[in-house]
Amino acid sequence: MASSTARRLLPWLAIALAVIVLDQLTKNWVLQQFQLGDSRTITPFFNLVRVHNAGAAFSFLAGASGWQRWFFVGLGGAAAVFIVVLLARHGEQRLFGWALALILGGAVGNVVDRLLHGHVVDFVQVHWGGWYFPSFNVADAAITVGAACLILDELLRVRRGR
């Protein structure tokens, strides 16, 4: 039984680890190449920037007094444990597994930032005609794609149930 669970879990953990490594490598590069607030135009709608986010998505709670760092570390840790349990139980479901592995990798990638720096390093900036989407990173992108996959998985599950 344990080896069956490990076989189901290992591919998903490998995907999560790949997300974490890619996320940390890109953030490390940005920290080495950019000063805080620096921006480099890549295309008319895409910049690389260096932004520090002490909050969550869209800088939620970024202005709090510092307690949010540990709150988000704890939340990310709890989410990681929950996701690993779900992967162990449902690892044979491909789309669901991909979704959870991407979310896991992204969550842990941002937790690593909070532990190392006290904030998350964001660097992707998308804009058009004076409108700017909040800056994000590889971990955030993985979480977003994972969430979209979760929604798709549920829609497909409901459709199969009809």
Over residues 116-151, the pLDDT tens digits come to: 999 999 999 999 999 999 999 999 999 999 999 999
Which is the catalytic residue, given 23, 38, 113, 140?
140
3-state per-residue secondary structure call for 90-119: HCCCHHHHHHHHHHHHHHHHHHHHHHHHCC
Residue-level pLDDT at 133: 92
User: At 17, phi and psi to the nearest 5?
Assistant: -65, -40
The answer to whether the CB of 36 falls within 8 A of the CB of 50 is: yes
Residue 38 annotated to the active site: no
Q: Quick check: is 122 catalytic? A: yes
16 by DSSP, 3-state: which? Answer: helix
Rounded to whole angstroms, the Cα distance separating 103 from 150 reads 10
Kindly name the residue from 23, 113, 122, 153 that is annotated as catalytic: 122
Mean pLDDT within 86-102: 95
pLDDT tens digits, one per residue of 8-61:
899 999 999 999 999 999 999 999 999 999 999 999 999 999 999 876 665 555
Would you tell me how many other CB atoms lie within 10 Å of the CB of residue 87? 24
pLDDT value for 21: 98
pLDDT score of 162: 66
DSSP tag of 156 = H
CA distance 132 to 10: 38
| Coil vs helix vs strand at 1 | coil
Rounded CA-CA distance 27/100 in Å is 22
pLDDT of residue 68: 72
| pLDDT, tens only, 49-75 | 999 987 666 555 555 556 777 888 899
On the question of pLDDT at 161 being above 90, the answer is no
**pLDDT the model gives residue 54:** 77
Per-position b or e across 134-161, b if 16+ CB within 10 A of its CB: ebbbbbbbbbebbeebbeebeeeeeeee
